Amino acid sequence: MAVRAVIASSSPSAAFPATFHRKLHICPSSLNPSFPVRSTNLRFHQASSRQVRVYGSTITLDPLAKVLHNNSEEAGYFACPICYEPLIRKGPPGFNLPAIYRSGFKCQKCNKTFSSKDVFLDLTVTSGMKEFNEIKPVRTELFRSPLVSFLYERGWRQNFNRSGFPGPEEEFNMAQEYFEPVAGGLLVDVSCGSGLFSRKFAKSGSYSAVIALDFSENMLRQCYEFSKKDESLSNTNFALVRADVSRLPFASSSVDAVHAGAALHCWPSPSNAVAEISRVLRSGGVFVGTTFLSTRLNSPFSNGLLRPLGQFVSQTNSSYNFFKEKEIEDLCKSCGLINYSSKVQQAFIMFSAQKP
Ligand SMILES: C[S@@+](CC[C@H](N)C(=O)[O-])C[C@H]1O[C@@H](n2cnc3c(N)ncnc32)[C@H](O)[C@@H]1O
């Protein structure tokens, strides 16, 4: 179990004078149950009042813990995409859309700052760069287009049913079953697109927080548009983050659940992506993904509503990365994940694997 605590430090370093985050393994049974339990990021502080044992070390839970926790708890979710150091947050407390947009984030190691552009927090390596411009492979760039982002939940995604995708409601229920062991934890919906699953996860109440993450600015804008119309999301711990799946802005072993719907075939490097997902998952954490298997049936755009886009899509379609089931299993296992299992229907596969 992951635990957040304040620990006494008699000689804080010059680089991190009063407060900084660090990861420790904590024996949960030694902690007061009323103490906030959620993350492996621990906040160091000099004051002291109560002491508990942490695998042989003494840690101190101090009265200021609650104040610090209230003001900075959420910063613990995000890490610098360059050095993976936890980001320091300045701004109003709360892990909800308005509070995060009004906050600034900074890496104390590389001094890079991050803020919300429009409606999402940009945690890409290229965030804030003025001259440098990097073009990703077409399977990533395609989804950055405003038109594709707009159409995605308005016909594009429904077309996947032709290849065996059961549809968002059923896929959500299937994923929730896989995520049962990590209920109550932090879920990151990687490559969330317009957030059709992120919103369902957030509304389910099954998670302490949900982060909808995508590389596409326009997909995240769509996600925001859908979210703000849904009042039931206003009181949930829900954030929109722009990031590259190959460089996830989270500390190692800090995430309980990663969902990646219809995404593996779109990633520039599926192996870097799954390795990165494995890195951020904590022990026992669960990864659930869906994709199109490499079969004759895996051309979701060849018929139906989106036929007019056929020519455009067929040019890009050939650049998707479709895999056979054995390859996906091999990929998960090679990235250190265990307990692989899957459900297949035509070209649709939902697979799950766990961090040991
Ligand atoms: C087919 S959509 C899937 C959307 C949604 N998860 C679903 O189940 O329908 C694939 C998504 O992967 C995202 N994507 C592509 N390359 C990515 C990358 N390098 N990092 C993060 N997301 C990426 C795209 O922007 C797009 O939103």
Digit-coded pLDDT (tens) for 264-316 = 999 999 999 999 999 999 999 999 999 999 976 555 554 555 555 555 554 45
In eight-state DSSP terms, residue 337 is -
CATH of domain 138-354: 3.40.50.150
pLDDT tens digit string along 59-92?
Answer: 223 332 333 344 444 447 999 999 999 999 999 9
* Residue owning the nearest CA to atom 19 of ligand 1: 244
Say yes or no to pLDDT of 46 above 50.
Answer: no
206 contacts 179 by C-beta, under 8 angstroms = yes
Mutate to test the pocket of ligand 1, among 157, 169, 215 (most ligand atoms within 8 A of CB): 215
pLDDT of amino acid 211:
98
Q: Rounded distance, CA 102 to CA 96, Å? A: 10
The domain limits of the chain are 1-67, 138-354
| CA of 29 relative to ligand 1 center, distance in Å | 39
Give Cα separations from 339 to 178, 245, 285 (angstroms).
Answer: 11, 22, 11
Identify the pLDDT of residue 301: 52
pLDDT of residue 305: 56
Nearest CA to ligand 1 atom 24: 143
Residue among 321, 327, 320 nearest 342 (CA)? 327
What DSSP character marks residue 156? I
Res 350: pLDDT: 98
Residues lining ligand 1, judged by CB closer than 6 Å? Answer: 140, 143, 157, 191-193, 196-197, 214-216, 219, 244-246, 261-263, 266-268
Question: pTM score, two decimals?
Answer: 0.79
CA angle 299, 304, 305 (to 5 degrees): 120
Do 22 and 4 meet the contact criterion of CB atoms below 8 Å apart?
A: no
Residue 36, Cβ density class (10 Å: 0-12 exposed, 13-18 middle, ≥19 buried): middle
Q: Which of 69-83, 86-100, 115-129, 332-346 is predicted most confidently?
A: 332-346
